[in-house]
Structure 1
Amino acid sequence: MSDLVELLSTLVGFPSLCGTPNGAIIDWIEARLLAAGARVQRIPGEVPDRFSLFAIIGPEAPGGIILSAHADVVPVAGQDWSSDPFILTRRGDRLYGRGSSDMKGFLACMLDAVQRVVTHPIPLSRPLYLAISHDEELGCLGVRSLLQALSEGPDRAIQGCIVGEPTQMQVALAHKGKTAFTIACHGVAAHSANPGQGLNAITLAGSMIRAVSELQEKIKTSERPDGRFAMPFSTVQIGLVTGGTALNIVPDHCVLSAEMRLLPGYEPGPYLDWLRDAGARAVADLGGGRVEIEVTNAYPGLDMEPGGVLCATVLREAGRNHTTTIDFGTEAGLFREILSLDCVVCGPGSIDRAHKADEYITEAELEEGARFVDAIVARLR
């Protein structure tokens, strides 16, 4: 257990913030895996200085399992931490540090298990795959190039994928998808002493803010409720408003940054079209201007049926009797969509502690995660 905590401490010590170069932590993980005899593929991301890793331990044979984790973490700026977020700090049974729950705890369990695989007297008869991605916290960005590389490689007949996001070891088979988009409102600038000579983009944006609220009500009444989720319908909300130049200038621009969290099976297209129609009406009411809606990022939801081999295996080894759903998104939907793999989400720690000051994982949770990973690996022998 002390080795596992030390491993987590090392991982937390890399300030691998999303949206920044991640070569340092990837170099360290890659070197560790290579030293253990893994076959490692380093996959560049879509932007410079970002990398993902795909490692194979064991024989080239069908029926292997992927363990998936992301190595990036969210920023700590503006948060009131009781200790340095990038130094793993023990207080009682709690291990504090950015990413300890989300999700370097599971990543540590993955890397720790590799050491025992190579020293175990019984070799694997099926391969263990490790997928380690970047910039997951920006909308599952980094895993896309990794999955593209895998889809273009040999057909390995992989049994399935376990994404180790912090679920307190509950076995999740479903989560919502996400579509992030902007609503750019364009007007005409003018001196504020003569506002009638311009078109106020913020006024236009106000109409679109109301339209988003109306769309939410439409969604609530038109979708079939899915009681598996705490919010049993798709949601849409505006998270950021940016507009104007100065108080004495009629603003010619205002951008609303918004997102949808969509129930599995629902697509964003019809809702975005509804907003575009609302934008056309708002422009007509104002007597001019322009509204543009652009999708900036999207990833699919996950909706696996219970009863598959992977689900049964994970339930058994996690010590659970039933499956659940989660409200946050993961890379599992992309593994399912691009590689057609059975996927579950199950890992140590709690999402309720993620993205906050004094994020932590307990030593008992970390140990439970390690036992789980070891049990999954044992099934590959």
Structure 2
Amino acid sequence: MATTSSADPTTARDWLARLVSFDTTSRNSNLALIEAIETWLHRLGVPSRRVSGAAGAKANLLFSIGPDVAGGVVLSGHTDVVPIDGQAWSTDPWTLSERDGRLYGRGTADMKGFIAAGLSRVQAMLAADLARPVHFALSYDEEVGLLGAPSLIETLMGTVPTPAVVVVGEPTGMRIVDRHKGIMGIRTTVHGHEAHSSQTHLGVSANIVATRIMARIVAIADRLAAAPVAAPGFEPPHATVTIGLVQGGTAPNILARECSFIWDIRSTSPVEARAVYDDVEAYARQLDGEIRARFADCGITTEILSDVPPLTGAGNTPAIDLVSQLLPAPQCEVASYVSEAGLFECAGLPTVICGPGWIAQAHQPDEYIELEQLAAGEAFMDRLVEVLRA
């Protein structure tokens, strides 16, 4: 028999306060949050399934409400958040606080607000005698390369009858996003040969070689920006290539032994992204041969950190149609950021993004979600229950 505790969260606000209290920054474990939800589900008599990461310190969580039939709706959300390091917060990031119609805390917008709205309606879903199920798919490490989603989706597809629709609850202001760019994240590392900086003939500066590769990347980025519009509707309307992190050298007067930099390609076309990668990699191979010919300990390595497909919108009409029924004024937009939606689409599931809050608040100090947005998320869940009711 299902039971609850007087300490259990009930409203979306209650759940948001509970979820925010867990520091699930991607570098940390998310297991305390997962265990809290599991314990609550157990009291309700709802079975759940963990999909653990390789190291066992993190886990996805999958559970379903309703009959074991095809045609259900997946509510997808990531449990991890970005760091608060170096940010000037005026409140405790891990304690939900209200001010001027806003709820502040890390993850309120991105995207614990959506998860909170969904969890607040689980008991209503249990009482509704649903004709089609709702599947909750909560992932880990979305913020650092969408690392948890592939195993979560694989488990979902292997354990439940095929769902009809996926809703990824990134903060869209409760608008429908039916397309987004993909991302390829790459780490390039140059291994040089140390020598005194006055004796350049006796060594190879990893920093100098790395800057040549980075110059190639900048030239490609400029070419893409100057080309005719290739991604109408997006801002910017073309593929982007950026260098986000550079680390190299040990002292000003030493030819750098190593230089590593992380860069990314964002495009609506996986073919275009691969072409950019191939161009840069071909140039890196050329330089690799040149520096290895001088010193055997030199070389250039390339590591693909993430390769996330875009959300193309192809075949996603069923998701748009369903979600449009759940919104008072549906409208479709596109997004330049990346989400797990492209992975669900690649698995053959019609997918859209729609969730409370705004992406502009994500990753910011004093991140917040407006009370009216959280209420809109709750209303979305209420209408979903009505649409799926037997």
Q: Same fold (TM over 0.5)?
A: yes
Alpha-carbon contact 2:231-2:239 (below 8 Å) kept = no
* Residue 153 (str. 1) matches residue 159 (str. 2): yes
String of CA shifts for 1:219-269, please: whole Å, max 9, x gaps.
345676111101111111111111112223211221111111111453532
Please show how residues 17-36 of structure 1 align to structure 2 within 5 Å. 17-36=25-44
Alpha-carbon contact 2:246-2:259 (below 8 Å) kept = yes
Please show how residues 1-381 of structure 1 align to structure 2 within 5 Å. 3-120=11-128, 123-153=129-159, 156-220=161-225, 225-282=230-287, 288=294, 289-305=298-314, 308-337=317-346, 339-381=347-389
Helix, strand or coil: the match of 2:67?
Answer: coil
CA distance in 1 between partners of 2:66 and 2:213 (Å)? 55
The count of corresponding residues between Structure 1 and Structure 2 is 377
Query: CA shift at 1:42, angstroms?
Result: 1.1
Alpha-carbon contact 2:178-2:353 (below 8 Å) kept = yes
One-letter amino acid of the counterpart of residue 301, structure 1: P
Helix, strand or coil: the match of 1:250?
Answer: coil
CA distance in 2 between partners of 1:186 and 1:15 (Å)? 36
CA distance in 2 between partners of 1:4 and 1:272 (Å)? 43
CA distance in 2 between partners of 1:266 and 1:369 (Å)? 36
CA distance in 2 between partners of 1:72 and 1:103 (Å)? 9
Query: CA shift at 1:292, angstroms?
Result: 2.6
Q: Give unmatched runs, 5+ long, in structure 1.
A: none
CA distance in 2 between partners of 1:264 and 1:303 (Å)? 9
Helix, strand or coil: the match of 1:355?
Answer: coil
One-letter amino acid of the counterpart of residue 119, structure 1: A
CA distance in 2 between partners of 1:55 and 1:23 (Å)? 16
CA distance in 2 between partners of 1:135 and 1:379 (Å)? 32
Helix, strand or coil: the match of 1:78?
Answer: coil
Q: Which runs of 4+ in 1 moved over 6 A?
A: 284-287
Query: CA shift at 1:10, angstroms?
Result: 1.0
Q: Give unmatched runs, 5+ long, in structure 2.
A: 1-8
String of CA shifts for 1:312-340, please: whole Å, max 9, x gaps.
12123122343110121111111111x21
Query: CA shift at 1:98, angstroms?
Result: 0.5
Stretch deviating more after TM superposition (342-351 or 72-81): 72-81
Helix, strand or coil: the match of 1:14?
Answer: coil
Alpha-carbon contact 1:98-1:359 (below 8 Å) kept = yes
Query: CA shift at 1:178, angstroms?
Result: 0.7
Alpha-carbon contact 2:63-2:135 (below 8 Å) kept = yes
Relative to 1, partners in 2 of residues 1:10 and 1:284: Cα closer, same or farther, differing over 3 Å?
closer
Helix, strand or coil: the match of 1:136?
Answer: coil
String of CA shifts for 1:99-153, please: whole Å, max 9, x gaps.
0111110000110010212234xx1111111001111111211112211222333
String of CA shifts for 1:53-94, please: whole Å, max 9, x gaps.
110111111111000111111111111111101110011211
String of CA shifts for 1:250-305, please: whole Å, max 9, x gaps.
11221111111111453532211111222245457777553332211121110114
Alpha-carbon contact 1:46-1:145 (below 8 Å) kept = no
Alpha-carbon contact 1:204-1:283 (below 8 Å) kept = no
Alpha-carbon contact 1:306-1:323 (below 8 Å) kept = no
Equivalent pairs: percent with the same residue? 34
